[in-house]
Structure 1
Amino acid sequence: MSSPASGPISARPISARSTSAGPRSARPASARAAAVTSLLLALLLSGCSGSSGGGKGSAPASPAPRTDTAASPSASSARESAPDAAAYRRWGLDKPLAVPPAPPSAKLTDGLKPGAAPKVIRHVPTNEKVVFLTFDDGAEKDPEFVKMTRDLKLPFTMFLTDDIARAGTGYGYFEQLRGEGNRNTINNHTLSHPNLRTLSADAQRREICGQQDVLEKRYGGKPPLFRPPYGNYNDATLAAAGGCGVKALLLWEVTMQINDMRYAQGDKLRPGDIVLAHFRGPSELKGATMTKMVANMLRSIERQGFTVARLEDYV
């Protein structure tokens, strides 16, 4: 596969923040009756309930913990429904991945004007030890992978090529992979998977906008993310993608291999890495299944102290 042709965007590092309240102190049993009587009298006089206020000099109420998940209900539900250890063991994994941290309140594409050239992103700026999984094309439609992702509640992003995705059982397979609350989104990877740099501006527009139209008719909206085949693009690609409603052009710096991963920089994962994988089966994996390949990848991610987060919560 050709190397993608652009540098990463720059942004301030993202980190999650939380607060917690300390334990309440217990009252002696002998004071309970007096306390109840005093409380009832105070309620009658003040006309309110549930108040923790006091006179002058009392401490203000503690602020609620910061949770950036309000802007992303799907991320919240994904964390609340984290899989158990038994689900991971069924797929040959020792233990579940760590629950991802709360996502940032602002995304990388916030403020992008309609029709503007999309942001080119190959790496997500963050200090959290999270990586993002992406799967391309759509050739292999392994029903066991559907079971695996449901069991593991695995977040990932799909980039589908129309003539590849339509083959066999078609788009229905990928709809099964969307998960709870459409956690895993389906995005644009062109109509026919050409090297876009070899095409005219009009031909590029047909490839990109054509797949936007296909996905809009099927899912009710144009996907905001696009990945150019082979990672190849030029200025005409960016112009076409922006005109078709794309907000971000997604590249990568890590690729999934049969037994592990390959890195564009160094020999290990970095916070915010985007991992490129494909829907592939035994004929392309030297006899290995897609579920085996993904299990190997997840084992490596966990061994390096990382977990998997939802890309759409950051981009």
Structure 2
Amino acid sequence: MSTPISGPISVRTPARVSARTATVTTLLLAALLLSGCSGSSGGGKGAASASPSPRTDAASSPSASAVPDAAAYRRWGLDKPLAAPPAPPATKLTEGMRSGATPKVIRRVPTDDKVVFLTFDDGAEKDPEFVKMAKDLKLPFTMFLTDDIARAGSGYGYFEQLWGGGNRNGIHNHTLSHPNLRTLSADAQRREVCGQQDVLEKRYGSKPPLFRPPYGNYNDATLAAAGSCGVKALLLWEATMQINDMRYADGGKLRSGDIVLAHFRGPSELKGTTMTQMVANMLRSIERQGFTVARLEDYV
């Protein structure tokens, strides 16, 4: 119920109804009205005071139709759907940053939620089966695209099928040509980073706020260049997808808020394994370790 009930509830009764009957009727109506508000999950104003409110914008609140079913998962060789992620935090890590500020460097998202975040880099493999899989599983992930790699073959049109208007799967910056940025001058770095910002803005209407440096290599000049053209966060990672399982930067297992690095890769680079098989292996590992997948853009 959008408006909390306040003040006494008045029930008008005919004169011939006894006082006892009127009292019972009043109590029943009051109980029904109050239960209509308390049955929602924290929708009233008072319920939000104990803890930070979750985000309620359309992009971070998928409808029931966005929930995958068990049959969809079985079609891709998975036993059951991933658990639904919790409501995202009320404030994102980049919220309130001023224009041109030095981007935040993020390896892991600070959260106690049992969630991890999937990211796919480059854009070399354009497997149409992965488009079907992503739609079937309603899978949230973030893409970091390199212009000269993404343009090859079927081009950016492939990633637009995965993007879906940006409400689930974001498209972000991975430079124009995938160089080791630390080997370049400040001006050359700016051309690589800001050049791809311009490409993506032209295609999608705005500059992406997230950037991943190729190979994870960056320096102060990288941060300055990225900040100058609208980047709010430089995204690294804590786990890397291999063909059958993941490699971890620390501890040999996933932790809450881990960012997982994968790539758009096909059988020629995966020893005969398809991209959809690789992703299925990754989802099995995530679920086996007690985690689910959340949308990175809802936290960062």
State the 1:37 CA deviation.
10
CA contact (8 A) 1:269 1:304 kept: yes
1:170 is matched with which residue? 155
State the 1:81 CA deviation.
2.0
Q: 2:138 aligns with which of 148, 153, 173?
A: 153
Secondary structure class of the residue paired with 2:277: helix
Secondary structure class of the residue paired with 2:116: strand
State the 1:267 CA deviation.
1.0
2:242 is matched with which residue? 257
Find the aligned partners of 1:78 and 1:150 in 2 and give their Cα distance. 14
Q: 1:292 aligns with which of 273, 277, 280?
A: 277
State the 1:73 CA deviation.
1.7
Q: 1:196 aligns with which of 169, 173, 181?
A: 181
CA contact (8 A) 1:188 1:211 kept: yes
Find the aligned partners of 2:87 and 2:74 in 1 and give their Cα distance. 26
Answer with 175-184 or 260-269: which moved more: 175-184
1:271 aligns with 2:252: no
Amino acid in structure 2 at the alignment position of 1:296: N
CA 38–198 in structure 1, closer or farther in 2 if over 3 Å, else same: same
Secondary structure class of the residue paired with 1:68: coil
State the 1:168 CA deviation.
0.3
Cα deviation, 1:236-287, whole Å, max 9, x if unaligned, reads: 0000000010000000010000000000001110000000000000000000
Find the aligned partners of 2:136 and 2:244 in 1 and give their Cα distance. 21
Query: Counterparts of 1:92-171 in structure 2 under 5 Å?
Result: 92-171=77-156
Amino acid in structure 1 at the alignment position of 2:74: R
Secondary structure class of the residue paired with 2:55: helix
Name structure 1 gaps, 5 residues minimum: 1-30, 44-49, 53-60
Find the aligned partners of 1:130 and 1:197 in 2 and give their Cα distance. 32
Cα deviation, 1:16-68, whole Å, max 9, x if unaligned, reads: xxxxxxxxxxxxxxx9x9459966xx99xxxxxx965xxxxxxxx97565551
CA 35–288 in structure 1, closer or farther in 2 if over 3 Å, else same: farther
Find the aligned partners of 1:91 and 1:214 in 2 and give their Cα distance. 34
State the TM-score, normalizing by the size of structure 1. Answer: 0.80
1:22 is matched with which residue? none
CA contact (8 A) 1:226 1:246 kept: yes
State the TM-score, normalizing by the size of structure 2. Answer: 0.84
Cα deviation, 1:195-254, whole Å, max 9, x if unaligned, reads: 000000000000001000000000000000000000000000000000010000000010
Find the aligned partners of 1:62 and 1:184 in 2 and give their Cα distance. 31
State the 1:111 CA deviation.
1.9
Q: 1:68 aligns with which of 12, 30, 54?
A: 54
Amino acid in structure 2 at the alignment position of 1:149: A
Query: Counterparts of 1:72-91 in structure 2 under 5 Å?
Result: 72-77=57-62, 81-91=66-76
Amino acid in structure 2 at the alignment position of 1:69: R
Find the aligned partners of 1:157 and 1:79 in 2 and give their Cα distance. 21
Find the aligned partners of 2:85 and 2:187 in 1 and give their Cα distance. 41
CA contact (8 A) 1:137 1:165 kept: yes
1:232 aligns with 2:217: yes
User: What is the percent sequence identity of the aligned residues?
Assistant: 78
CA contact (8 A) 1:78 1:183 kept: no
Find the aligned partners of 1:130 and 1:242 in 2 and give their Cα distance. 28
2:14 is matched with which residue? none
Aligned length: 268
1:220 is matched with which residue? 205
Q: 2:290 aligns with which of 282, 299, 305?
A: 305
